[in-house]
Amino acid sequence: MIKDRLTSPQVTMQLFAAMVGVGVLSLPESVGTKAGTDSWIVIIVSGFLAMLTVALMAYLGNRFPGQSILQYAPILLGKFAGTIVLLAFLLYFLMFVGTVVRISADVTKLFLLDLTPVEVIIIGMLGMSSYLIMHGVNAMARFNEFIQPLTVFLLLLVLTQTIRDTDFGRILPMMGDGIKPLIKAFPTTFFAFLGFEILLFIQPFMEKPAMACKAAWFAIGAALLLYTLITVLSIAVLGAKEVTLVEYPTLTVIKNIEVPGAFIERLDSIMMMVWIPFSVTTIVMFHYCASLISSQLLRLQEHRVITLLLVPVVFLIAVLPRNILEVDEWSKWASWLGAALVSVIPGLLAIVYKWRSKGKNA
């Protein structure tokens, strides 16, 4: 029996926390390389596709009240195939956590803690993640309720200072190179929305599971607006070509801000203070889901012990890449695996459910 309960706004915060992370800094560059001035169009299309996918996930959750994919995947697909699906999700979550932790540690070392070893920063992030997970999903929800609105407010406050340097003519012409660049950029942009799939694992905790779809749509909509705003401002300030020449365009844009009176000299430091909570909350949500899957596969009553046992595994994944190029390659593999799972598994489970329902009614 599930004791912890989440309200619809809390679920919205959880999903938003899982989606918005590294992309806040890197998305304008990664999508701009392929889509140029049309980057914002691809982001909107990817967001709406994510909404359709999450609606299918909510549908499955409502067909199995009080159960997550941990329970109904083996029921629908059989024990063997269901276990394979859960193992694939476990691999995806562990790889994703490992790469996000490494990227977060690298960026933190580069801009804030230049004398601190990356390994120490990684251990600190995993320690914070484990502490929150050990206290249960309600503690995680309360943490996100506090930190997410504050960080989004600070981010928007900083971004408002870029308006004087923007030239929205730089986002034109619209679709000047046709639809081909948009198609090429679509996978990269869809990766930025990965995280909504945790609904498959936390929907049973909801006080009103029927509200799962609406809560998820709010989360994706908020992430869509934030990503679109950041990308449009990056192009409008730097230019479409210049965005592709810097690794973290959002930070570059903020570095160029001049505050009247020099009241604050380094707004990029404030941006880093905003971004670190984004990355930490993403790490927490994926670490938590990996712990749930592991405890289910090992038939454990509690996920807390396995949460700590997964820390060395994630640490190893985080430190294995030797440089930023290898980290990027690992991140792409994790993203492709996640995109494949969210694109195939919910649809497959829904088809099997419909087929079995018809068989029972015949």
Residue 120 pLDDT exceeds 90: yes
Tell me, what's the pLDDT at 266?
Answer: 60
- The predicted-structure confidence for 263-273, as pLDDT tens digits, reads as follows 455 666 677 77
Residue 199 pLDDT exceeds 60: yes
Amino acid at 61: G
Residue 270: inside a domain, yes or no? yes
Domain span including residue 148: 8-343
Residue 223: inside a domain, yes or no? yes
DSSP 8-state code for residue 299 = T
Taking the C-alpha atoms of residue 220 and residue 133, their distance in angstroms, rounded to an integer, is 23
Is 86 within 8 Å of 293 (Cβ atoms)?
yes
Taking the C-alpha atoms of residue 310 and residue 103, their distance in angstroms, rounded to an integer, is 19
- The predicted-structure confidence for 1-38, as pLDDT tens digits, reads as follows 456 788 999 999 999 988 887 778 788 888 888 888 88
**What are phi and psi for residue 251, nearest 5 degrees?**
-65, -40
Residue 68: inside a domain, yes or no? yes
- The predicted-structure confidence for 66-117, as pLDDT tens digits, reads as follows 889 999 999 999 999 999 999 999 999 999 999 999 988 988 888 778 888 9
In 10 A of CB 117, how many CB atoms? Answer: 11
Tell me, what's the pLDDT at 1?
Answer: 44
- The predicted-structure confidence for 293-311, as pLDDT tens digits, reads as follows 999 888 887 788 899 999 9
Residue 358: inside a domain, yes or no? no
Q: For the domain that residue 134 is a member of, what is the CATH number?
A: 1.20.1740.10
Residue 356: inside a domain, yes or no? no
Residue 145: inside a domain, yes or no? yes
The string of DSSP letters for 250-288 reads HHHHHHT---GGGS-S-HHHHHHHHHHHHHHHHHHHHHH
Q: pLDDT confidence of 160, banded at 50, 70, 90?
A: confident
- The number of residues in the chain equals 362
Total number of domains in the chain = 1
- The two structure tokens encoding residue 340: 């494949």
- The two structure tokens encoding residue 361: 């009614």
Residue 203: inside a domain, yes or no? yes
145 SS3 class: helix
Q: pLDDT confidence of 258, banded at 50, 70, 90?
A: low
**What are phi and psi for residue 128, nearest 5 degrees?**
-65, -45
Judge if the upstream peptide bond of residue 173 is cis by omega within 30 degrees of 0.
Answer: yes
Residue 86: inside a domain, yes or no? yes
- The predicted-structure confidence for 49-80, as pLDDT tens digits, reads as follows 999 999 999 999 999 988 899 999 999 999 99
Give the list of residues 6+ apart from residue 353 with CB closer than 8 angstroms, or none.
60, 63, 76
